[in-house]
């Protein structure tokens, strides 16, 4: 299935989707050393974002979240890509400085955890697994 999107940070990547129906904040929400979601009560709590296509509606929280994404990348614990319904400026800046492909204006309900997602030139291809 092809899913339309807008490019925030371009890139070619593919990987397994990790999907949350709720916003995600990176500062205090994701461990920058391990890539594990540590926000208590979050739907992804205990899940690792490393190397996965991280799909969530939008970001939340502190502007330091941009630097948390950068730290994730430096620690080789970052997601392979980020897909949002609406790009939050904090997440967008983080993706850009960390060189993580990011797309938005996506109906994130079309993608499910475990789907195989391929991103090329702003086009999202989703394969159910």
Q: 54-73: per-residue pLDDT in tens?
A: 999 999 999 999 999 999 99
Element (H, E) at 9: strand 6-9
**2 classed as catalytic:** no
CB 81 within 8 A of CB 103: yes
CA 93 to CA 1: how far, in whole Å? Answer: 28
Give this prediction's pTM: 0.97
Catalytic residue among 2, 20, 62, 66: 62
Domain encompassing residue 56:
2-127
How many domains, the chain?
1
62-109 residue pLDDT tens = 999 999 999 999 999 999 999 999 999 999 999 999 999 999 999 999
**CATH assignment at residue 45:** 3.50.30.10
Residue 50: count other Cβ atoms within 10 Å of its Cβ: 18
């Amino acid at each position: 299935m092809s899913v339309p999107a807008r490019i925030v940070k371009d890139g070619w990547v593919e990987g397994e989707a990790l999907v949350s129906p709720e916003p995600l904040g990176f500062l205090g929400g994701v461990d920058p050393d391990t890539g594990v979601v540590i926000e208590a009560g979050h739907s992804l709590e205990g899940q690792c974002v490393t190397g996965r296509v991280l799909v969530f509606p939008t970001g939340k929280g502190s502007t330091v979240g941009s630097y948390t994404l950068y730290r994730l990348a430096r620690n080789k614990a970052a997601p392979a890509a980020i897909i949002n319904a609406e790009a939050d400026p904090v997440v967008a800046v983080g993706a850009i400085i960390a060189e993580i492909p990011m797309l938005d204006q996506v109906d994130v309900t079309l993608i499910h955890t475990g789907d195989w997602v391929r991103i090329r030139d702003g086009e999202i291809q989703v394969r159910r697994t």
